Chains A and B, each alone.
Chain A
Amino acid sequence: MRSLSQRGIRDEALLEGARLAELVQRLGVYFALLLLVAISGVLSPPSVTPSHLLNVTRQASALGIVGIGQTFVIMTQGIDLSVGANLTLIEILTAGMILGRGEMVLPVAILCLGVGAFIGLVNGLGVTKLKLSPFVMTLCMMSVLTGVYLLYCGGSPRGKIPDSLRFIGAGRIGGVFPAAIIVWLAVIALAFIVLRYTTFGRYIYSTGGNPRASYLSGVNVDLVVIIAYVISGVCSALAGVLLAGYIGTGSLTVGRGYDLNSIAAVIMGGTTFTGGRGGVVGTVGGALVITILFSLLTMLGIPHSGKLMAQGLIIIGIVSLYAKRR
């Protein structure tokens, strides 16, 4: 009996240790964030004014929303490379279908989210029912979606966004708080609650951690994975609608970089490719780090080439810190 209880205590201590390690891992990205803000403050004091920080956060919101969808997918040991093409498609569709009519905002937005969900559904079905590797499935989807949006707009996107959607994408509530951040916060809250407090959230963790064991304990593993991809599709679509509001017209290049940057944000946030660990809180930090880094480098007048180099080094650097600890 004694040895059993002792083992219990030791397990608990181990569990505490693991929890602490995970906490450090998940918050590590916020240390990096603070460091970046501090560096920006030293190099250029105006960059840490609340107004500017809010502006950078607004810039990060699209990447942050895409990253949250990507988090769900990566937690099930998957990957979604189609988010960038999905976002571009939706951005072009939104601009092209609304054509400046204010009354069309809601129906078009709902239709676009539906399209995003459908894209995610196809990805999820390919991964689960056809047993394709997520990389290949979503790579194909990326290629197909690229063809679709090019065909839809004939190579030159058009369209005009009415003021209501422009306000959500680019406006500031009361002239202070960017409306896009509210949308992002809502998505964060929703994702956090789903992951932490719902059965589905538990299933995401268990499926990612050990699909076989989850299956044997009665979890419909395929359904969980499919829903994860649908969430990712909807998140990308939402980011697309938001960016349409920000840009005000269709753009072929709006989604460029989102696939790899969203993956980087997720991994920097402490969610691992092996699945079953992590969460949206880290991803939010990852998206902020990437955006603030780019903003800082722009402020310093560093050309695109230098930004890319710094981005590469920082992704490798931050992720190496975690990887070593494991």
Chain B
Amino acid sequence: MLLKLLLRRDRSVVTIYLVLIVLFVIPSLISPVFRTSRNFSNILHQAASLGIVSIGQTFIVLLTGLDLSVGSVMSLTTVLCASLMTKAPVTIFTTVLLCLAAGAGVGLANGLLVSKARLSPLIATLGMMALIQGIALQIRPYPGGYVPRNFGGVITGNLYFVPVPAIILVLVFVAAIIILRKTVLGNYLYATGGSEENARLAGINIDLVKISAYTICGLIAVVAGLVLTGRIRSGDPLVGTSFPLDSITAVIVGGTPFAGGRGGVEGTIAGALIIAMLSNMLNLLDVSSFYQYIVKGLILITAVVIYSLRRR
């Protein structure tokens, strides 16, 4: 049933998964290091936080917006965890709740700025990015602190050989699919993204749709931040810096266009996996990280050109 749901909307999802499979099979044939289970688990660990935050970003891109504040929300999450968590499970629980509340608050503020104050999403989330980044740096100016083992260990551990980050990724993914495909909110989201004016005339409360989407994105960014915290085991106020643009890249490579209203999280996951796998491959091939910037740029542009050619 899930497969049917996945394939229902867009054929470009099939293409992107074919690309993913090719990118997976070819290096597996060539490189014995690549096809080790240890490396696969590595890729999953690397891809998980990017994949999760990109799912949230998809909600916003579907609305023809973008959220630049996700990275600083992730940084703030790691900083809060490293500052507030102790071995006692109660503090872990309350810290996670606090982080989620903070993320929802940021998302809510973004949504209100975009819908009620009518700021362009770029400016609203740019301002919010600076604000949250400032707060994170205020709490912890330098990377440091310590995340207790009974949080970090669980987040980075395995459950029956499956990395926990991958499980969290799948859970967020399934939740997003259900929201987007099976709920009224999902339908409203696609309608608003497709044509705001039509959606409004059809009686949809587009402000509420936007506010919900930004809030969901903020919450998901916190989940990504928690996974990242588990990996780095400390607080780093700048760890999320590259995530806003990387997550947007994942969404676009995954086939959700900036024009909004089309695409979905199915492609986004593949987009995030492609980005993580490519950087893993280039690292294994001992390619200078300098080239990786160029490769990343060229991949994004190739993907977008291919999509735009198909639609013509």
Contact = CB atoms under 8 A, between A and B. Distances in A.
Interface of A: 79, 126, 130-133, 135-137, 139-144, 146-148, 150-151, 155, 260, 263-264, 267, 273, 303-313, 315-316, 319-320, 323-324, 326
A151 B134 contact: no
Contact of B134 (A126, A143, A146, A307): A307
A230 B122 CA distance: 23
A147 B293 contact: yes
B123 A267 contact: yes
Contacts of A319: 119, 123, 127
B53 to A, nearest CB: 17
Contacts, number: 133
A167 B119 CA distance: 41
Given A147-B293, A324-B118, A137 B258 contact: no
Q: What size tier do the contact residues of chain B reach?
A: 35 or more
Contact of B138 (A137, A143, A264, A305): A305
B300 A312 contact: no
B296 A143 contact: yes
A143 B300 contact: yes
A316 B135 CA distance: 16
Interface string B258-294: 1100000000000000000000000000001011111
A126 B304 CA distance: 11
- The A interface, classified by DSSP as helix, strand, loop or mixed, is helix
B216 to A, nearest CB: 21
Contacts of B131: 308-309, 312-313, 316
Nearest to A314: B127
A312 B301 contact: no
A305 B135 CA distance: 6
Nearest to A79: B122
Contact of A309 (B130, B245, B292): B130
B308 A132 contact: yes
Nearest to B257: A133
A130 B312 CA distance: 11
Nearest to A137: B301
Contact of B127 (A139, A144, A306, A313): A313
Contacts of B129: 312
A315 B129 CA distance: 11
B248 interface: yes
Interface in B118-150: 118-120, 122-124, 126-138, 141
Interface string B236-259: 000000000100110010000111
A140 B297 CA distance: 4
A316 B131 CA distance: 10
Given A144-B298, A316-B113, A306 B126 contact: no
**Most chain-B CB neighbours within 10 Å: which of A141, A146, A305, A307?**
A305
